[in-house]
Amino acid sequence: MMTKNNQIILGIDPGLATTGYGVLTGSEAHMKPVAYGSIITSPKMSLSQRLQIIYDEVSAIIEEYKPDEIGVEELFFSRNVTTALLVGQARGVVLLAAQQRNLKLLEFKPVEVKMAVTGYGRADKRQIQQMVKILLGLPAIPKPDDTADALAIAICHMQSRNLKILAQRVIEENR
């Protein structure tokens, strides 16, 4: 499968309090960071206000950087059901922002991101952050953690997009 050489990929690590984002350009062999940061919402705001901020900010990032594709981490469910539901709602507005602009969106499990960035599916946060810094030639580990995670998602997307797209196509054809 051939792809254009200079992709613009937006990686997003959704969360209600902090949604990290990272924009990369290039190809899997030559990735360059374009922009990265976090969208912060206050717990003093209503849920609907916080979701509106996330939606508006993600929409503005999409409009400014015009990504070819978006990578988002799949919802990781552990023990805290309330947290998972809130993260799911934040994730929903991110998916909506991408869908409204007809952007191709790929979802990645946490283990896929860890494998793509470190080569080890059980890597800890510090290992992932250090590899993000090294792979992108950054002067320091991006803060907060959600920003580094979003860049890791964008790296994973850049490195695995051809395989993921092919797998999705096969699944859709076999339905």
Catalytic residue among 13, 57, 69, 149: 13
Q: What's the sign of the alpha-carbon dihedral 35, 146, 108, 60?
A: negative
Catalytic residue among 57, 73, 112, 149: 73
172 is annotated as an active-site residue: no
Rg (CA), the chain: 15
Q: Which two tokens stand for residue 39?
A: 């969208």
CA distance 44 to 64: 29
CA distance 20 to 38: 4
13 is annotated as an active-site residue: yes
CA distance 51 to 57: 10
**Residue holding tokens 């990929």?**
9
CA distance 129 to 118: 10
Catalytic residue among 69, 112, 145, 146: 146
What are φ and ψ of residue 70, in 5° steps?
Answer: -125, 140
Q: Which two tokens stand for residue 153?
A: 């998602």
Active site residues: 13, 73, 146
